[in-house]
Amino acid sequence: MAAWDAIVAAIEAAHGPVDQEWRSSKSDFGSMCLLRRGKKTLLYLTPGRQEVVVAVVLGERAVALALAADLPERVRTLLVEAKSYAEGRGIRFPVRSPSEAPVVAELVRLKTTPR
C-alpha cells in the first residue's frame, strides 16, 4: 500500500532504519505493526482495506509541542480530546494517501524531541 510505504520511508528518512515488528491486536483489526527504533516504539500501524490506521502515544511535553505545531486540525482535535494516561495521550487516525505521511513523521519527530 502506497500510504504504508510513504509512512515508513518518512520515518526512516528522519530517524534512520526502523524495525517493523508484527503483533496480534486485541481489537477487530487483526495484526498491527510496531515501528521501532531500538527498544523505543515510535508508532503503530494497522493495515486496512484502503487506509493505514496510525496509532501514536505522545507524552505531555510532546503533546504541548504538537499543539503548537502546524498540524492538521483533525490531529490537533484528537490530541486535545485524548484522555491522559501515565504513558501519555494515545491517538488513532486513518491515513489514506502518501501525501499524509509528513504529518505522521512530524508526530514522531515531536515524540522523540530531546528535552
How many domains, in total, are found in the chain?
Answer: 1
The average pLDDT across 28-48 equals 90
User: Looking at residue 29, what is its pLDDT?
Assistant: 61
pLDDT category, 24, cuts 50, 70, 90?
confident
Q: What percent of the chain has pLDDT over 70?
A: 96
Any idea what the CATH number is for the domain that residue 21 is in?
A: 3.30.1460
Give the residue numbers spanning the domain of 59: 2-111
Residue 3 CB burial class (10 angstroms; 0-12, 13-18, ≥19): buried
* Higher pLDDT among residues 27 and 70, named by residue: 70
C-alpha cell read off for 67: 499543539
Map residue 13 onto helix, strand or coil.
helix
**Residue ranges in 42-100 assigned as alpha helix (H):** 60-68, 73-81
Whole-model pTM?
Answer: 0.93
Residue 102 CB burial class (10 angstroms; 0-12, 13-18, ≥19): middle
